[in-house]
């Protein structure tokens, strides 16, 4: 008889433990749900206060054919817009200037690089379509485009692009060339052929000013 009572007591205790565990789990679930709801409400409130999200892109200025005459910089054989390619569509500089990270020269893209996109991309307006037709004609006739150089250095000066990209990162281009991603037509922002300008940059960054760094 006593063993039966003990057995029944064990069953009751086990049942109570099981019920207690269920309550604990239920309470924990409700607590987590409450925390999640507060977090969502907080994010919603923050989003409402900060306003709509800004697109991670720079919309290029719409230019008519007559607008290009007033742009600073040299006119190129094809009106290549860095503000569309690098700004609006965020194509990395190294995609076109392929050798900048491994050579003293940044490299000018080949027609094959351009046609990698413009075999399919024909332009969104009459002005861009006209320029892309020039590109396609040069490609079909196998005639390289003779771009006009914007930045010059004296013959006795060496500027190894690869060293600067390695030291300052792949987005260092703007340090010398300005915010190219906002330029419809590239123009000279800094006098890169001035030794004082280069030395000031080296002083600011605490790097060598030895003559042999550039004159060798």
53-80 pLDDT tens trace: 344 567 777 776 567 778 999 999 999 9
Q: How far apart are the C-alpha atoms of 121 and 1, rounded to whole Å?
A: 92
Output the six-digit token pair for 123.
């332009």
Rounded Cα distance, 169 and 131, in Å: 32
The reported pLDDT for the residue numbered 171 is 81
Domain limits of the chain? 1-53, 65-213
Lowest mean pLDDT segment, chosen from 63-72, 76-85, 143-152, 192-201: 63-72
pLDDT (average), residues 10-26: 45
pLDDT tier for residue 189 given thresholds of 50, 70 and 90: very high
Query: Model pTM?
Result: 0.67
What is the per-residue pLDDT across 110-121, written as a single tens digit (0 to 9) for each? 999 999 999 999
* Residue 115 backbone phi and psi in degrees, to 5: -75, -15
| DSSP string over the chain | -HHHHHHHHHHHHHHHHHHHHHHHHHHHHHHHHHHHHHHHHHHHHHHHHH-SPPPSS-PPPP--GGGGGGSSSPPPSS---HIIIIIIS---HHHHSTTTTTSSS--PPPHHHHHHHHTT---SSHHHHHHHHHHHHHHHTT----PPP-----TT----HHHHHHHH-TTTHHHHH--GGG-SS----S-TT-HHHHHHHHHHTT----GGGT--
Would you state the structure tokens that stand for residue 214, as one six-digit string? 């550039």
């Amino acid at each position: 008889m006593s063993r039966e009572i003990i057995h029944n007591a064990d069953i009751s205790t086990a049942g109570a433990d099981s019920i207690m565990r269920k309550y604990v789990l239920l309470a924990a679930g409700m607590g987590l749900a409450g925390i999640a709801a507060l977090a969502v409400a907080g994010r919603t409130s923050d989003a409402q206060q900060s306003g709509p999200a800004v697109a991670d892109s720079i919309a290029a200025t719409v230019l008519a054919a007559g607008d290009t005459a007033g742009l600073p910089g040299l006119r190129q054989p094809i009106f290549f817009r860095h503000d569309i390619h690098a700004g609006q569509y965020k194509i990395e500089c190294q995609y076109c200037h392929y050798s900048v990270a491994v050579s003293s020269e940044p490299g000018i893209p080949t027609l094959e690089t351009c046609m990698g996109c413009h075999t399919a991309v024909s332009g969104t307006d009459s002005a861009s379509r006209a320029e892309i037709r020039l590109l396609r004609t040069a490609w079909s006739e196998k005639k390289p485009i003779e771009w006009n150089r914007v930045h010059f250095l004296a013959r006795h000066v060496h500027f190894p692009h690869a060293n600067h990209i390695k030291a300052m990162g792949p987005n260092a281009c703007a340090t010398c060339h300005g915010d190219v991603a906002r330029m419809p037509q590239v123009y000279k922002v800094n006098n890169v052929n001035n030794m004082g300008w280069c030395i000031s940059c080296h002083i600011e960054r605490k790097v060598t000013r030895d003559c042999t760094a550039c004159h060798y």
